[in-house]
Amino acid sequence: MHSDIPAVPGRALLVLVLVLMALLEFMLGGSKLLLGVLREDRSDWLLPSGFALGFALCYAVLAHGVWFLRVWTPMLTVLLTLLVLAYGLLRFIQDREPDLALILVFLLAMATNLAALAWAHSARDRLGQALPDSARD
């Protein structure tokens, strides 16, 4: 851990939640891809698994941004929230009967994104201009 990064309350807990969310999305994407391969019909499973794996990467990058207090963290959080919202609404429109796992992951993703956005704004207000030069990249 870098000693020049100031301590911000709740940072470790939020990073843990973001890493768990990345793992959940990774497992969801991998299971959808594996299911498509086993059924030998990748057309229905390739796009959802690709989105889930992309979301997993975004959550991992967001966890990095929160841990090292990067200035792009709020922007990535807003973009990720809009992407998850658009993807979730598109899936709910396409599937007349969405499965419970999709609904729960969607709600968990939205709650995580909103918590990350609220934390980023409160951390920015608390720190003000006290961020080290390495955190301003």
- Tell whether the model's pLDDT for residue 9 goes beyond 90: no
Task: Report if residue 39 sits inside a domain.
Answer: yes
Contacts of 121 by beta carbon, 8 Å cutoff, 6+ apart: 74
Domain assignment present for 26: yes
Tokens of 90: 């598109």
Q: Which domain holds residue 26?
A: 11-127
Assigned domain for 89 exists: yes
> Tens of pLDDT along 20-30?
999 999 998 88
Q: Does residue 1 lie within any of the structural domains?
A: no
Contact 74, 120 (CB under 8 A): yes
Q: Is residue 3 part of a domain?
A: no
> Within a domain: residue 15?
yes
Let me know if residue 133 belongs to a domain: no
| φ, ψ at 3 (rounded to 5°) | -80, -15
pLDDT at 119 over 90: no
Q: What is the mean pLDDT of the chain?
A: 81
* Averaged pLDDT for residues 13-22: 92
| Helices and strands (H, E) in the chain, number of each type | 4, 0
Q: Give residue 129's pLDDT band: very low, low, confident or very high (50, 70, 90).
A: very low
Does the pTM of the predicted model rise above 0.75?
A: yes
User: Can you tell me the distance from the alpha carbon of 134 to that of 101, in angstroms, rounded to the nearest whole number?
Assistant: 39
CA–CA separation, 35 and 32 (whole Å): 5
User: Is residue 60 pLDDT above 90, yes or no?
Assistant: yes
Tens-place pLDDT, residues 64-118: 988 888 888 888 888 998 998 888 888 888 777 777 777 888 889 989 988 888 8
Please tell me the distance from the alpha carbon of residue 116 to that of residue 47, in angstroms, as a whole number: 26
Instruction: Provide the domain count of the chain.
Output: 1
Q: Which residue has the higher pLDDT, 82 or 121?
A: 82
In a domain, 6, yes or no: no
Residue (of 135, 95, 127, 116) closest to 21 by Cα position: 116
